[in-house]
Structure 1
Amino acid sequence: MTGTAPSSPAPRATAGESTHALLADGTTIRLRCATPDDHDAVLRLYEAMSPEYLRFRFFVASRRSAAQAAARVRRSSAPRDSTPAGAERSCYRALLAEHEDRLIGITEYEVAGADLSIPGQVTAEIALAVADDWHHRGVGTLLLEHLVSAARADGVTAFTADALADNHEVLKVFADLGLSTARHFAGNEVRCVVQLEQTDAYLTSVEARGRTADVASLRSLLRPESVVIVGAGSKPGSVGRAVLRNLRTGGFQGRVYAVNPRAVMVLGVHAYPSVGSLPQVPDLAVLAVPAERVPDVAEECGKFGVRALLTVSSGLDAAQARALLDACRTHGMRLVGPNCLGLANTEADISMDATFAAAHPAPGTAGVAVQSGGVGIALLGGLARLGVGVSSFVSLGDKYDVSGNDLLQWWECDGTTDLALLHLESFGNPRAFSRTARRVTRQMPILTVDAGRTEAGRAAAASHTAAAATGTMTRRALFAQAGVTATDSVSELLEAAALLHSQPLPSGPRVAVVTNAGGAGVLAADACAEAGLSLPPLDPCLIDDVLGVLPAGAAATNPVDVTAAVSEEQLRACVDRVAASGCVDAVLVALVPTAVAAATGDVLVRSLTHAPDRCRDKTVAAVLIDQEQPVRLLPDATGTVPAYAEPQAAARALAHAVERGRWLARPPGTTPALAGVDAPRARAAVDAYLDRHPEGGWLGPDECAELLDCYGIPQLPWAWAETEDDAVLAAERLKGPDGLVVLKAHWPGLLHKAEQRALHLDLRGDSQVRAAFRDLETRFGHLMTGVVVQPLAARGTELFAGVVQDEIFGPLVLFGLGGTATEVLADHAARLAPLTDHDAHDLITAPRCAPLLFGRGGGGPVDLEGLEQLLLRLSRLAEDLPQLAEADLNPVLARPERITPLDVRIRLLPRYSHDPYLRQLRQLR
């Protein structure tokens, strides 16, 4: 994916380490931290600048000022997180932009100190310079985005920059960043103060710039004017020959070349001995050569000026993979593959089939991106049978570079695609994917096969958060929050795609079943109920109206049984009346072939497809029990109607459409501001713990309490006791009106107190407290570091809330039924942080236990606002502290007056933050 991070977050780049990113025109440049050895290159950059740009940079056209600025680079060093614990933070940082080993830009900051007028603010003076011939291509903006990310991670909260008032270009760069910027004029100078808070407005600006750059970089892949097949074999059966054949027979409008050093002609195309001997530089090169040759051929293509590679070759080892990607990054080529089926674009002026599939893709409006070639062939065939076809198809293969995120942005802008189908076995940057998908899915449906559900059937056998969080749960959370329609199979995906492509979205889950056979109606009704749809009773007036147009013996409850004797006109009139009513949101027509009347088979189907008067804002689908195809689209008077062979398939498709309609109808959520959060104090506490425990570990009760206090999360009063006498004194101080207390043993890593009988409840008086302490000490003395003493909590609903840091997806917030039942019932829901207000509401309502929270059972509703606050604050805690590997609050006592965690466990690991929204291309590590 564009902007993808490596498969696991790594420490921020040390001096000299680099990444690659795209400029506005799709050009790839290298960004890296400066080193003292870069002094001469920086000096040459300044010396080559025109007098005007030198004046803009230094306020005077001074070569001496340029030399002094270059000398500052000698102070470049590793950033804070790369230095030993306790070392002094570096006050200076410089980032360089390079293209093909030429320095084309530099930005730098120097920490100026704390702004006393704003508590906690740390400001840094910044400077920016770009080579004269690289202006207006986005170099400066890209450098500043990376500098903002690095500075924020280093604790800097604001940038200040001085500029001349007539330096309109740099002032526009600051204004267009998307960050809050204030200008202060003093004569012919301007001081800009840029706040570095990562707001949604800033991320939206970054996304817009990234989309422009991404789409520009993909044109050579998906709309090339010339293509070369490297490895086009002269004998039948080779992959390269198959790709060449498909290009030739698929009507490609551009020029086609072949490279084969042992042939003169291949399939009527003149063959050249090497890429460098071609008469022109092709936009796209298809590599179908043995794995050991791929890096050299890629390097040759890059040096020749090729802009994009499609690598169908497979079997690359780690060294070959790295060399392939290095060649692409060095020479600015986008890469699809390796180990893929190919790609295609069916637009009439392109007609490119650069795959080795057996059949050409049918032209249409569905964009398809898959990692599995086999799944790709199945989707191409299914979409062709439906008549939907594809706009563009990309087999991502091992996905070294181009990903599903890239394709979503392409389809968003291509003017052809209205349906996006994805099969992704892995995610490089799920949070960037989520933001892109949330935007794109408001324009078109995005459907995916939830691949790799290896833990789908595993019950959560432990109460702690990491054990409860499965890979399936994490992916489903991503899809639900992003508005992506997730299916379990290719067939289910095609079923949903058929309905979403052909019908308006239902405004709710109410379905009317109309059938000519009672048994089929029952099956359809059961399928709808199982899919979460409802079959409401019809309005009495509608019942009378419908019965008036149907044969004798018809029943107009729901399902509506029109009888086997129904005619085409009668069925059409019935469906029209039901669809036009306000009683339902969709109509499902289940038909069985009979020999009772003349109106059978295709004649009845015609009643669904020749109905010009039907209310067109209602969803209509059919179940034709006798059809051979799982799903097909029936030509309608104004479009198509989906017909399914099984009622379960139709119900699933309707349920997906209902969920999409519900997601679109809800406004985007917001991340609420939280009062009483002290993130700097929390970071200091985490740093202090990891200084003492470099490998990480489970926090003690006092350390857990401090972190929760930093985020305003309420806790039950407690005391720590290491001796019997301490426990007695604490119990006397903490006992409630009933005089009862609880003792809980503690040692690092203890997760299941109840399972190990490491706690005593309902203790009253000194003697019981002493006896309980002695029992715990006798059984766990070799482990136990002390006990936690708490008052006995009042009765309430026991819940579970927690966070786990997924190395790929980031923080995942879990919520559900707590106490000992959490191990047995595994009644949990999950959402990815940061949580919006909608996400928090969804978390509360998703578990099966949710009715209890709203008062079902006579207990009255719990403190729902407090529960939402708890989840939002846990989300913020995890977002602020990447070192938080796991937080487990179980049980959380929910009562009408308050929400109180009774037991808290937190585990830290020495992890570093990374910016998932930073514009950068993927790196292999």
Structure 2
Amino acid sequence: MDEPTGGPHDVPDARAASSYPLTWEADVVLRDGTTTHVRPIRPEDADAVQRFQTGQSERSAYFRFFAPVRRLTERELERLTHVDHHDRVALVAVRPGTPGGGHDGAAGAGDGGDAPEDVIGVARYDKVTPTEAEVAFNIADAVQGKGLGSVLLEHVAAAARERGVLRFTADVLPQNSSMLAVFRDAGYAVRQQLDDGVVTVSFDLEATERSRAVMADREHRAEARSMQGLLSARRVLLVGPGEPAAGSALTGEHHLAQRVLDAAAADPGDTEILVLGAPGPVPDAPGVRAVASWEALDEPAGPGGPPLPGAPDGGAPGIDLALLAVPPADAVAAVRRLAGRGVRGVVVLAAGYAETGPDGLARQRELVRAAHAGGMRVVGPASFGLLTTTPGARLHASLAVRPPRAGAVGLFCQSAPAAVTLTATLERRGLGVSALVSSGHRADVSGNDLMQYWQDDPRTSVVCLYLESIGNPRKFSRVARRLAAVKPVVAVIAGRSGQVVPPGHAVRATHAPRRLLDEMLRQSGVIRAENTHQLMDVAQVLAHQPLPAGRRVGILASSAALAALVAEAAAAAGLVVAASSDFLPPDTPDDEIAPVVDALYAPGACDVVVAVDVPVVVPRTGAVARAVAEAAARTGRTTVASMLGLSGLPDELAATAPDGTGVRIPAFSTPEDAVAALAKVVTYARWRTEDQGAHVRPDGVDSRGARRLVERWLAPDQAPDQAPDARHGRELDQDEVAELLACYGLELWRSRRVRTGDEAVAAADELGWPVALKTASAALRHRADLGGVRLDIDDPDELRADVERMKAIAAAALGEERPMVEVQRMAPVGVACVVRSAEDLLFGPMVSFGLAGDATDLLDDVAHGVPPLTDVDVAGMVRTVRAAPRLFGYGGTPPADTDALEDVLARVSVMADDLPELAALELYPVVVGAAGASVLHASVRLRPAAQRADALRRALPG
């Protein structure tokens, strides 16, 4: 359990306070699924810190100060709360204090007062050297065991790395086993030493494979628990706008509240619905009752009626989930009134937030802050709601008049209109769901949260996502890859490129290549559907058929022509048509159907089956459907069908397997739809069986050295000609580029820029003959066809003549008065490639690979990846470009050393992941010979880093 620790190292520091680091503020999810706010400490926190200390047990106080400190002195308080946010840093976890009073009335009346915040945890460090600091923690007794200590460690470590700290030390009492475990279990290489009754703990702060895995695992458990709190709600409070004034028109909020009431009256699920601020008469329905006021929530239901059960913490009577159908101006007040009542989440049904402009966005952020401060998650705004179909615990907290049937599909979408379309499609196809969640503008709860939950949910076997925007692609990729390894994930991305941002979605701008999203999904194992129709097509195969063992498809059709057309569609989709394929004319006697079907389903005959029965004249009898369904159930062979008059999951294509389970074959309106859905499932099944590799971390990487170089080059006290431009950053010279690349084990072939032939000969003598000569102009340096490159020069006179010719070409083509040329020793013959990286505000680091040449750029023959990459990702990038055969002996040429090329690409991906300041890097060309890869030219641009959306700390969207 996370408990306080620390040591007596608080000594005054006269350093002046620096600017408040706003980017360190974050909302976080704890182990129990509740939320809290972490931020830098402020001088005005003194009273809250004193209350925190006086509320601690004697044991906790002793663990923190090595003495039974019950109350802090004024000097100690000032020392604790006045920091410089650089050499002395302190973070606090806070929650709202005891709320003030309010008054009766409908929703939105009063906000409970602006109560002071309560501190529930403190983490601090004090530098003892420029790169080492002592760290200490103090966690409130009431929240120990909820993971707050590990969260604060992540956040204070991230702040320390930002300030150049590379190592933490801490003094811990041996009895404080819980805090020792927090350090030990964080994934760092921890060293412990016992001296004079105190354990000194020390560890480097550089992220390791294990520390990343620990953080991801803790994040998974906390966010899954958070979603479980929402989806297992048994008591729901609907907060409406109240009845309209006489003669006033109904507002959108009135309609929303009434829709929820109508749905609850028709099917309340297995929940109790409390209604506060009803838009009209509350239906007389089981499980639905009105509440007169906020204060009435604390009172019995009526004369002799029982009060609501208390909240888990013994506070106000418990409510699990709240639905808000109130005007945006009243929403924050309502959320603050919900604090302390055990509410795990708030579903905001109304719109009127970020989509209305800056004021609406500010209102949306205030709403989320208020909810997180009170330990609640937010679904919405503009949400359709959420529902589950768990037998005996069905939750219906949505605008759906008739909830979908129970099934195995976990469905997440964003906008309410998309939810309406999807629920109608589910009903039409007969496809059931385990849960449906609509996030609306996705101010807080996102598809990432639901993927975390569905990974361990036994009732969900397929996850379907309808995404209009992706707010954190790096986290999405990380979470989706983990989920796809055990359950299929099918996604529709509106706008295809992911660069279309609907109104109301607060998403960072991106300049990423449009194909990057496709590559990210492929690497993550996500099945990409083209539209909602295909989303449901793929889902019904995955939900009701086993994953195929291979890609050999057996075709059973009602005519030879139809079989040929299906075979062509299958081959185009990457499937292999099996020899067992056959056709059955519509007039085939029933007793001749079974032998043909049995041959198709014989062991080893094929891996998947496509059955197509479209009679022209003779009516379809259903005999083929029955035979196929029984064979599929008997053998467990993946099967899809396209039969006239059948769609969705019809009873005619249902059968019982030998173990007694029911099997349904999905039916499609066209054979092409059936083949397309099947091909995507086959591709996913193959991804599941392939080795996904391990994150690359090549030998000889000096991340610390690179970090020191970058900080020095971007320091604000640079000379005017070297100071970084605020917008574009700082372009490194070739010596600096070589020094940075060397930190990642990449050797840059040296070159010399010269103006005369004699200087070129001297450079060749220094570098070694033969040499290559290139114009120094970026426009011509790779253009041999325009005279910008001459190779394999081994004669001084020839070199002098080439220098003059190249200068004349540059002067004529570019108008340069004194053009320069570049001399470089000839590299071994090989295939010229290009490796690039860039830092994007939305995607973070991006890496690309292609072969050099105009054709690559013109045809966009480039592979992309989002670090961190695995060795399998890197190998895939090299092999997926269309020109890749040139690397493997195309046309009789010697094969290139692709292992060396992959090593270069891996090192660049690690550099891009390590250095968010790496605005742009280009290695062009990288010549890959029969043995080794040579980096002949490189350019690097650094820029002060923006905080990445998926940093090395757990945090909710902010």
TM-score range, shorter chain: 0.7 to 0.9
Q: CA deviation at 1:690?
A: 3.0
Cα deviation per residue 1:581-639 (whole Å; 9 max; x = unaligned)?
A: 3353222222222556x9x44121111112378422x3222232x23647768212321
User: How far did residue 332 of structure 1 move?
Assistant: 2.1
Residue matched to 1:661: 685
Indicate conservation of the 8 Å contact 2:257/2:279, yes or no. Answer: no
Q: Could you tell me how far apart the structure 2 residues matched to 1:333 and 1:64 are? A: 32
Gap change, CA 1:889 and 1:565, over 3 Å in 2: farther
1:520 aligns with 2:516: no
Q: Cα distance 1:469–1:519, how it changes in 2: closer, same or farther (>3 A)?
A: farther
**Correspondent of 2:201 among 189, 192, 196:** 192
In structure 2, what is the equivalent of residue 493 of structure 1?
Answer: 535
Deviation string for 1:624-655 (max 9, x for gaps)? 2x236477682123211122232222222222
Per-residue CA deviation, residues 286-332 of structure 1 (Å, 9 max, x unaligned), is 11223333333333334766442111111221232123222212322
Question: C-alpha separation between the residues in 2 aligned to 1:884 and 1:386?
Answer: 49
Partner residue of 1:424?
467
TM-score by length of 1: 0.86
**What is the distance in 2 between the residues matched to 1:74 and 1:323?**
25
Whether 1:293 aligns to 2:310 is: no
Indicate the residue corresponding to 2:303 in structure 1.
none
- What does residue 810 of structure 1 align with? 844
Which among 477, 480, 494 is matched to residue 437 of structure 1?
Answer: 480
Give me the whole-angstrom Cα distance separating, in 1, the residues matched to 2:372 and 2:49. 22
Q: 2:274 pairs with 245, 253, 257, which one?
A: 257
Q: Is the 8 A contact 2:753 2:776 kept in 1?
A: no
Q: Does 1:127 align with 2:164?
A: no
Equivalent residue number for residue 27 of structure 1: 34
Task: State yes or no: 1:611 paired with 2:631.
Answer: yes
2:553/2:575 contact within 8 Å kept: yes
Q: Are the equivalent residues in 2 in contact too, given 1:631–1:644 (CA < 8 A)?
A: no
Aligned residue for 2:890, secondary structure, equals coil
Q: Is contact 1:149–1:915 with CA below 8 Å preserved after alignment? A: no
Contact kept? 2:348, 2:379, Cα under 8 Å? yes
The question of whether the paired residues in 1 share the 8 Å contact of 2:756 and 2:800 is answered with no
- TM superposition shift of 1:565: 4.7
Q: Aligned pair 1:61/2:103, yes or no?
A: no
Match of 1:169 among 178, 196, 209: 178
Deviations 1:720-746 (A, max 9, x none): 225564334324555644xx5322223
| Amino acid across the alignment from 2:610 | L
| One-letter amino acid of the counterpart of residue 908, structure 2 | L
Query: Cα 1:785–1:677, aligned 2, differ >3 Å: closer, same or farther?
Result: farther
Question: What amino acid does structure 2 have at the position aligned with 1:254?
Answer: T
Q: Name 2:365's counterpart in structure 1.
A: 322
Give, in whole Å, the separation in 2 of the partners of 1:302 and 1:623: 54
Comparing 377-386 with 324-333, which one deviates more in the overlay?
377-386
Counterparts of residues 853-868 of structure 1 (less than 5 Å): 853-868=887-902
- Within a 5 Å distance, the mapping from 1:121-270 to structure 2 comes to 122-186=131-195, 188-231=197-240, 238-260=255-277, 263=280, 265=282
Decide whether aligned partners of structure 1 residues 57 and 262 sit closer, same or farther in structure 2, where only a CA change above 3 A counts.
closer
The amino acid of 1:287's aligned partner reads: L
In structure 1, how many angstroms separate the alpha carbons of the residues matched to 2:512 and 2:948?
A: 22
- Alpha-carbon distance change, 306 to 584 in structure 1, aligned in 2, over 3 angstroms: closer
Identity %: 32
CA distance in 2, matches of 1:320, 1:608: 57
Partner of 1:106: 122
CA distance in 2, matches of 1:872, 1:400: 35
Which runs of no fewer than 5 residues in structure 2 stay unpaired? Answer: 1-17, 97-116, 244-249, 300-307, 309-316, 354-359, 501-508, 658-662, 716-721
331, 337, 347: which is aligned to 2:374? 331
**Secondary structure at 1:857 match in 2:** helix
Instruction: Give secondary structure in 2 for the equivalent of 1:789.
Output: strand
Deviations 1:140-195 (A, max 9, x none): 22211212222233333332222222222322322332333233234533222234
Please give the alpha-carbon distance, in whole angstroms, between the structure 2 residues aligned to 1:99 and 1:346: 34
- The aligned counterpart of 1:543 is none
Give the root-mean-square deviation of aligned CA atoms. Answer: 3.3
Aligned length: 859
Task: Pick from 97, 110, 125 the counterpart of residue 93 of structure 2.
Answer: 97
**1:645 corresponding residue in structure 2:** 669
Determine helix, strand or coil for the equivalent of 2:806.
helix
Kindly provide the CA deviation profile for residues 354-373 of structure 1, in whole angstroms up to 9, marking residues without a partner as x.
22234322222211110122
* Equivalence for 2:655: 636
What is the DSSP-based 3-state SS (H/G/I as helix, E as strand, rest coil) of the residue aligned with 1:642? Answer: coil
In the TM superposition, residue 899 of structure 1 has moved relative to its aligned partner by 2.1
Q: Aligned-pair distance for 1:880? A: 1.6
Unaligned runs of 5+ in 1: 1-10, 80-89, 115-121, 458-465, 539-555
- Alignment map for 1:395-544 (pairs within 5 Å): 395-454=438-497, 469-471=512-514, 473-536=515-578, 538=579
Deviation at 1:12, TM superposition (A): 11
**CA separation in 1, counterparts of 2:499 and 2:592?**
47
CA offset at residue 403 of structure 1? 0.7
Task: Note closer, same or farther for the CA distance 1:355–1:891 as it changes in structure 2 (3 Å cut).
Answer: same
1:84 matched to which residue of 2? none
Q: Secondary structure at the match of 1:384?
A: helix
For 1:522-921, list aligned pairs within 5 A. Answer: 522-536=564-578, 538=579, 559-594=581-616, 600-611=620-631, 614-616=634-636, 618-624=637-643, 626-627=644-645, 629=647, 634-638=653-657, 639-691=663-715, 692-695=722-725, 696-722=729-755, 725-731=758-764, 733-734=766-767, 736-737=769-770, 741-746=772-777, 754=783, 759-762=788-791, 764-777=798-811, 779-780=813-814, 786-791=820-825, 795-912=829-946, 914=948, 916=950, 918=952, 920-921=954-955
Does structure 2 conserve the Cα–Cα contact (< 8 Å) formed by 1:468 and 1:826?
A: no
- AA aligned to 1:693 is A
**Which moves more between the two structures, 316-325 or 64-73?**
64-73
State the one-letter code of the partner of 2:693. G
Q: Distance in 2 between matches of 1:318 and 1:613?
A: 53
- The aligned amino acid for 2:519 is A
Query: Structure 2 vs 1, CA of residues 722 and 339 (structure 1 numbering), >3 Å: closer, same or farther?
Result: farther
- Structure 2 letter corresponding to 1:789: V
By how many angstroms is 1:418 displaced? 1.4
Q: What is the deviation of 1:569? A: 4.5
- Listed one character per residue, the Cα deviations across residues 126-147 of structure 1 (whole Å, up to 9, x for unaligned) are 2111233332222222211212
Shift of 1:757: 5.0
1:132 partner amino acid: D
1:14 correspondence with 2:21 = yes
Which amino acid in structure 2 is aligned with residue 93 of structure 1? Answer: V
Counterparts of 2:29 and 2:584 in 1: how far apart (Å)?
Answer: 61
Aligned AA (2:654): P
Higher mean C-alpha displacement, 209-218 vs 806-815: 209-218
Q: What code does the residue aligned with 2:325 have?
A: A
- Range with bigger deviation, 638-647 or 575-584: 575-584
Q: 1:632, 1:791 → 2: CA distance? A: 71
Contact 1:275/1:301, CA 8 A, preserved across alignment: no
Are the structure 2 counterparts of residues 861 and 329 from structure 1 closer, same or farther at C-alpha, using a change threshold of 3 Å? same
Answer whether contact 2:646 2:667 (CA < 8 A) is retained. Answer: no
Q: Distance in 2 between matches of 1:632 and 1:868?
A: 50
The answer to whether structure 1 residue 353 and structure 2 residue 396 are counterparts is yes
| Pairing 1:267-286 to 2, within 5 Å after superposition | 271-272=290-291, 274-278=293-297, 279=299, 281=317, 282-286=319-323
Q: Does the residue aligned with 1:238 lie in a helix, a strand or coil?
A: helix
Equivalent position amino acid for 2:656 in 1: A
User: Against the structure 1 CA distance between its residues 262 and 786, is the aligned structure 2 distance closer, same or farther, given a 3 Å change threshold?
Assistant: same
